[in-house]
């Protein structure tokens, strides 16, 4: 089901990959190691993850998708603290979270950010 390079979507990207992993998990299906390799390849210092292997436009949704993929696949997050720092940089002065640092907060982005931080903390605490 995965593309040759291991991700899902055309081209392979983290947004489609995280959604595919969620569906496959519900169906009780696994993925090949190449999916984990794809997620590792799109990890990047500074903000955690990029959308595709050739993109470089950081946003909250992509960073959260990378963390969710890593947790789902049970792989370490190479730039975990960079990813969390980027998510926190998306937080506005009133507490909400925006799509990018300096952006306008939105309830959906706030939910995604808090859910991702919560999931990451729980993954760190798990043996």
User: Residue 38: inside a domain, yes or no?
Assistant: yes
Mean pLDDT, all residues of the chain? 95
User: Residue 95: inside a domain, yes or no?
Assistant: yes
User: What's the pLDDT score for residue 1?
Assistant: 65
Hunting for tokens 């507490």 — which residue is that? 95
pLDDT in tens, 10-64: 999 999 999 999 999 999 998 889 999 999 999 999 999 999 999 988 999 999 9
* Domain assignment of residue 45, given as a range: 14-125
pLDDT in tens, 81-125: 999 999 999 999 999 999 999 999 999 999 999 999 999 999 998
How many domains, in total, are found in the chain?
1
Contact in structure between 119 and 80 (CB atoms under 8 Å): no
User: Residue 1: inside a domain, yes or no?
Assistant: no
Hunting for tokens 């190479």 — which residue is that? 78
User: Residue 2: inside a domain, yes or no?
Assistant: no
User: Residue 20: inside a domain, yes or no?
Assistant: yes
- Indicate the pTM of the whole model: 0.94
Tokens encoding 76: 């370490």
Query: If phi over 0 gives left and psi between -120 and 50 gives alpha, with beta otherwise, what is residue 70?
Result: alpha
User: Residue 9: inside a domain, yes or no?
Assistant: no
User: Residue 57: inside a domain, yes or no?
Assistant: yes
Q: What sign does the CA torsion over 72, 74, 80, 84 have?
A: positive
């Amino acid at each position: 089901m995965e593309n040759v390079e291991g991700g899902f979507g055309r081209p392979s990207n983290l947004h489609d990959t995280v959604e595919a992993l969620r569906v496959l998990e519900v169906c009780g299906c696994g993925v090949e190691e190449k999916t984990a390799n794809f997620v590792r390849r799109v990890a990047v210092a500074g903000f955690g993850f990029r959308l595709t292997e050739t993109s470089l436009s950081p946003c909250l949704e992509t960073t959260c998708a990378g963390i969710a993929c890593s947790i789902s696949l049970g792989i370490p997050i190479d730039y975990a603290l960079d990813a969390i720092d980027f998510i926190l940089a998306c937080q506005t002065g009133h507490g909400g979270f925006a799509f990018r640092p300096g952006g306008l907060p939105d309830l959906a982005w706030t939910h995604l950010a808090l859910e991702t931080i919560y999931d990451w903390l729980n993954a760190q605490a798990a043996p």
